Amino acid sequence: MFTKILIANRGEIACRVIKTARKMGIKTVAVYSDADKDARHVMLADEAVHIGPPPSRESYLVADKIIAACKQTGAQAIHPGYGFLSENAAFAKRVEEEGIVFIGPKHYSMAAMGDKIESKKLAGAAGVNCIPGVNSAIETAERAVEIAKGIGYPVMIKASAGGGGKGLRVAFNDKEAFEGFTSCRNEARNSFGDDRVFVEKYVEEPRHIEIQLIGDAHGNCVYLNERECSIQRRHQKVIEEAPSSFISEATRKAMGEQAVALARAVRYQSAGTVEFVVGKDQSFYFLEMNTRLQVEHPVTESITGLDLVELMIRVAAGEKLPLTQADVKRDGWAIECRINAEDPFRNFLPSTGRLVRFQPPAETMFAADLSRWQGVRVDTGVQEGGEIPMFYDSMICKLIVHGKDRLEAIAKMREALNGFVIRGVSSSIPFQAALLAHPKFVAGDFNTGFIAEHYSHGFRAEDVPHDDADLLLALAAFVHRKYRNRASAISGQMEGHEVAVGAEFVVVTLGQKGETATKPVSVTDFDGKTGSSLIKVGANSYQLCSNYRLGEIRISGTCNGLPFTAQVERGSVAGKNPLAIRVSHNGTQIDALVLSKRAAELHALMPYKAPPDMSRFVLSPMPGLLVDIAVQAGQKVQAGERVAVIEAMKMENVLFAATDGVVGRVLAVKGESLIVDQPIVEFA
């Protein structure tokens, strides 16, 4: 067994590998760029080596620097995590040639299966059903359009070395095929150093189901059940679960055996995943094989009780698998939410910056510790006060729950999301809360087009209807009453003008464009010792009991005897009004003023101050790097014409003109780092 390994990665996966290595008594070496010098994985590792500037092509993707760090520290093996160099066969071969063990498959297996084009050819030769398409690299956008026409729209344009949604577009017409090809090549070149692109038929209404497997150097290979990964947005997984509620035992067995047969054909060692697209009739087709650890591996760990990182390390060290296919368990139900730094209310654009608050829900399961089941686990590479840089993937962390069945797992995940406090950057939590509450998701009635179908207009606050909206008003009144109670106890108040606590209030809910809604509430039987109050909102009564302390964001306790967790904030953080209280629960968020009856009457007379008209400007919708300006002053521009391209978190975002017009001024320059809502172009 190794005594020291280097982790050629960053973020949560680096921290995840460190935890297992520590459990096994193996020392760890972290590598870091300038942007990650204070990152959590650097702090957790036994040693850390600086490898260059923030862009990954100058640090995490430079094989020479990784190998030099390995030799410098005396590490005997490299764990590549996922992304970066994890599926680079040339890197794996170079590592082996340098006398270092690569904790992953052998380079020849990776070359055969890690390349999407070659893997399809191999799968076809092995008799595996493959989706129609052209499995050779396409050189020009014009040729891509020609091929797409031949296959028939819609088509999927994919980078051969792609992954994680990078270098992938779906095209429904010639224009989208042409532009998609160019964007795919650019993203693939920047993220993976390989710009080969191919085209295949896009199967509509598919399920995305993948088989986790692990093989050793002694010819043993087993599959560890499946993962349901059909909830995707822009081909990036949002929610994953294991097992799948869709496939039958017979389909599960057939998919698993086919995945193992494919792995055996390339003498596969280590953990790997074979991805399938599954039709309504449970017919399945090979998509690709990921020759690495997957982001969503924790759901498999939860239902099998296996530490996949430990198995990878043991296999790399030459050990035999400690289990046979008959030993593989499937116990309970696990769900994972990828918590990303993106704003779901701004079309999921990246959100970078400092994590002013990062307070995950209480963990009862832990990575690398499989002694505790059916609880909550958080895999993260960040901490409060840390930065979410613009140079890497948008993932903040992964939230995993394990329950005895699917409905219990959904309930646990909703409660965990309610208690997850993230401030300083926007996160995908409200959107995931909405997905978990959607009746079709709860029923298991979905496919990979679920988000596109149900949120085709984007995601809006009104897409998250609360099953008891008055509860949010009751929480606002409860917290306001606590503030009033504290104010009344302050000494030195002027006689005759002391703060009166009161029991009768009006809750004014603030809308998006100055509109308001009012509702009378009463707060009685306040007990400071037990933290209990009876709140009446219209005809509804809420007996709230909580030890909530003023200034905290998370509030938990019981409501009418049932446990609850929500989030409350008062002050300018609520945005619309410095006196407002923001309440968030089950993905629904309100901003409310809790006022006396007279104050509510006066508030109704206050004029609405409309925001300034910025329609003449093209604004940066997110923080990022301006990589291209496609217009110049005096140029006539038509609606839908490309104006600028912004790159953030390894994704290209193209800005188009909303209407016809003439460019008055170009206000930003190529290569400039932009902030949210920074003007780029002004129309005359």
Catalytic residues: 288
- How far is the CA of 488 from the CAs of 445, 480, 509, in angstroms? 53, 12, 25
Please give the backbone phi and psi of residue 573, each rounded to the nearest 5 degrees, phi first: -60, -25
Distance of CA 407 to the CA centre of its chain: 22
Contact between residue 274 and residue 209 where contact means Cβ atoms under 8 Å apart: no
Q: 277-307 burial string, b = 16+ CB within 10 Å, else e?
A: bbeeebebbbbbbbbbbbbbbbbbbbbbebb
Tokens 């600028």, located at residue? 644
Residues near 501 by beta carbon (within 8 Å), at least 6 away in sequence: 481, 484, 485, 488, 526
Phi, psi of 166 (to 5 degrees): -80, 140
Helix, strand and coil content of the chain, in percent to the nearest 5, comes to 30, 35, 40
* Dihedral (CA of 344, 347, 348, 352) sign: negative
3-state secondary structure of 521: strand
Residue 96 φ/ψ, nearest 5 degrees: -60, -40
Asked if residue 304 lies in contact with residue 226, where contact means CB atoms within 8 angstroms, the answer is no
Alpha-carbon span 424 to 640, nearest angstrom: 33
Write the CB contacts of 604 (distance below 8 Å, at least 6 apart in sequence).
516, 518
For residue 357, what is the enclosing H or E element? strand 357-359
Question: Both tokens of residue 228?
Answer: 């349901």
Which residues are within 8 A (CB) of 322 and not within 5 positions of it... i.e. 6 or more apart?
311, 314
Which amino acid is located at 214 in the chain? Answer: I
Angle at 618 between CA 614 and CA 619, to 5 degrees: 80
CA distance 389 to 44: 19
Q: State whether residue 333 is helix, strand or coil.
A: strand
Between the alpha carbon of residue 675 and those of residues 54, 272, 340, 472, the distances in Å are 18, 39, 19, 33
Q: Locate tokens 């038509």: which residue?
A: 638
Q: State the helix-helix crossing angle for 63-73 and 89-97, rounded to 10 degrees.
A: 30
CA distances, 309 to each of 22, 347, 579, 584 (Å): 12, 35, 49, 36
The SS3 assignment for 358 reads strand
**Radius of gyration from C-alpha coordinates of the chain:** 27
Burial of 165 (0-12, 13-18, 19+ CB in 10 A): middle
